[in-house]
Amino acid sequence: MATYLIGDLQGCDDAFARLIDHLRFEPGRDRLIVLGDAVNRGPASAACLRRLMGLGDSAQCLLGNHDLHLLAVAEGVRRAHRSDTLDDILRAPDRDEMLHWVRQRPLALLEQGWLLVHAGVLPDWSVEQTLELAAEVEQQLRTQAPREFLADLFGNQPARWSPGLRGPDRWRLTVNALTRLRYIDTRDASIDFHAKQAPAGAPPHLLPWFAVPGRATRATPIAFGHWSTLGLSWSDGALCLDSGCLWGGALSCVRLESPQRPWLELHGLPCVGQREPGT
């Protein structure tokens, strides 16, 4: 039995299918976990969801920012962006089944001693607190009226964690950390929502979330996606698996049981119909 973690799909179903073949993945024996952003910007979002759903209990996918954006667009609380490629889901005869499946996905998981998130974890959060906060949002998303709940979920404030946060502010910050985080502004310990470049080109007051001194989760390895300009990398106990398939890079994965290197790099699987970076 093998457990594979896979970086952002973003609608790159051709690369996803070839990766599964490359791994000789066998449902019922093996498991795979996509680290969020199964959909959007790539050419085949609906096909990615159907492939994941068809694997049943052998596949899991975290919620990423693009997956949440899909739910919000479907509920009419956000407008589609010009660069979105979600119509194949929104106009599909099985639209409701796909949206329901996405709404049931987790924001964070603990798997074989690894903490799994789409984007990052705030430095003050322990593993236990991260999972508890994720579970709060998951419960609301699955049980509350989706239109009303999603309407309060988007925005950049608050940008700094406080244990006293309650209700929509608490849930919004949780979602922003787990699905959008890249940098922490060391001047006030807030999330920076603007910088997307690799750390070598970032302003000196910004630190990657995993490099903040004293991070409470430092003793636990963390796998994440979301940061394509960072690429496949291992630093400070954090493994980034977004190697930019959408932008002409590759779809990469790690086998958790591998006794060799901390990750298994699988390149040569670019997205068909990829876009230029930043489009």
Task: Evaluate the CA torsion angle 181, 111, 140, 215 in order and state its sign.
Answer: negative
Going by C-alpha positions, the residue among 142, 137, 44, 28 that lies closest to residue 86 is 44
At 255, is the secondary structure helix, strand, or coil?
strand
The pLDDT value given to residue 262? 46
- Each of the 279 residues of the chain gets a pLDDT tens digit; together they read 899 999 999 999 999 999 999 889 999 999 999 999 999 999 999 999 999 999 999 999 999 999 999 999 999 999 999 999 999 999 999 999 999 999 999 999 999 999 999 999 999 999 999 999 999 999 999 999 999 999 999 999 999 999 999 999 999 999 999 999 999 999 999 999 999 999 999 999 999 999 999 999 999 999 999 999 999 888 999 999 999 998 888 898 888 886 455 444 443 344 433 333 332
Range 3-255 classified under CATH 3.30.70.360: no
At 166, is the secondary structure helix, strand, or coil?
coil
Q: For residue 57, give every residue at least 6 positions away whose Cβ sits within 8 Å of its Cβ, in sequence order, or none.
A: none
At 191, is the secondary structure helix, strand, or coil?
strand
Q: Is 68 exposed, middle or buried (0-12, 13-18, 19+ CB in 10 A)?
A: buried
Run of H or E residues at 261: none
CA distance 138 to 145: 13
Q: Is 190 exposed, middle or buried (0-12, 13-18, 19+ CB in 10 A)?
A: middle
In the block, residue with structure tokens 């009226």: 145
Within its chain, how far is the Cα of 151 from the centroid?
A: 20
User: What are phi and psi for residue 226, nearest 5 degrees?
Assistant: 75, -35
CA distance 78 to 137: 19
CA distance 192 to 199: 13
In the block, residue with structure tokens 């509920």: 75
What are the DSSP E strand ranges found in 127-252?
183-185, 190-192, 206-208, 222-224, 233-235, 238-240
What are the sequence ranges of the domains in the chain? 3-255
Reported pTM? 0.93
CA distance 233 to 250: 13
